[in-house]
Structure 1
């Protein structure tokens, strides 16, 4: 699954806006090239809403464990919510028949679902370069995050 595949998946969902930070748009330089995915049926980037998913292409000063400085490496971050994140991680652990939690260099392993290195406690999940093992799960989690974002929007309208 490429970055473009992720964007194609989310933009096929109703009301999604993908904003890619770039020079001249007011975003900080560190964010340039990263994509932010919002539910916004009016087609604009909402001013007071957090994205439900992001695609990051580089390490941030307080977030280097994924080693995104490697060529061709990106990370999909998905706000699943704390309960859904716990279920997804437990399901993956059951599927893999391992009791090990990602740690050390495992945090930089591709094609594995893990808690977001910074926002995992807030229900964010992360997958570096989704591949054969995680593409279907990544798509399902993105769709569920979209459904949650849409529901929050509808409740607040």
Structure 2
């Protein structure tokens, strides 16, 4: 998990926010996004909570890396209608709660770390594009 944290903090323009033992990578190059626009592009979750306990993060040492992807990329990785074991370690899965918003996850990535690292690069690039698009829309307003 420390290696993943270090990797997440290396993305230029991103802030790494920690709250309640969880970590959130947010693209905010100027550091001025209002709270309602601070959407993470990747997260590290270390415990179950009332709305998300499907992965059974209450197991000793288990954590989940979550990665937000563009719709098309998510569709390339996830088979529609397939039943996934969202408690499986070191397997790329649709996020048990946010899969509908095109998030994938992996619990304790070891063998899958190289693939997850590549997906983090894609998620970061997607966050940069979304930020730039929103910036252009805001500046185009009279």
Whether these two folds match at TM > 0.5 is yes
Q: Deviations over 1:116-142 (max 9, x none)?
A: 00110110111100011x101111111
Q: CA deviation at 1:44?
A: 5.8
Matching residue within 17, 20, 41 for 1:19: 17
Query: 1:40 touches 1:46 (CA, 8 Å); kept in 2?
Result: no
Q: CA deviation at 1:18?
A: 0.5
Aligned twin of 2:138: none
Where structure 2 has 5 or more consecutive residues not aligned to the other structure, the ranges are 136-142
TM-score when normalising by structure 1:
0.78
Where structure 1 has 5 or more consecutive residues not aligned to the other structure, the ranges are 22-31, 91-99
Task: Spell out structure 1 runs of 4+ moving beyond 6 A.
Answer: none
Alignment of 1:8-87 (within 5 A): 8-21=6-19, 32-43=20-31, 46-47=34-35, 48-87=37-76
Aligned twin of 2:116: 138
- The residue matched to 1:108 in structure 2 has which SS? coil
TM-score when normalising by structure 2:
0.85
Q: Distance in 2 between matches of 1:125 and 1:137?
A: 12
Q: Deviations over 1:86-139 (max 9, x none)?
A: 21235xxxxxxxxx631xxx321110011100110110111100011x101111
Q: CA deviation at 1:84?
A: 0.8
- The residue matched to 1:35 in structure 2 has which SS? strand
Q: Distance in 2 between matches of 1:101 and 1:117?
A: 11
Q: Distance in 2 between matches of 1:119 and 1:51?
A: 12
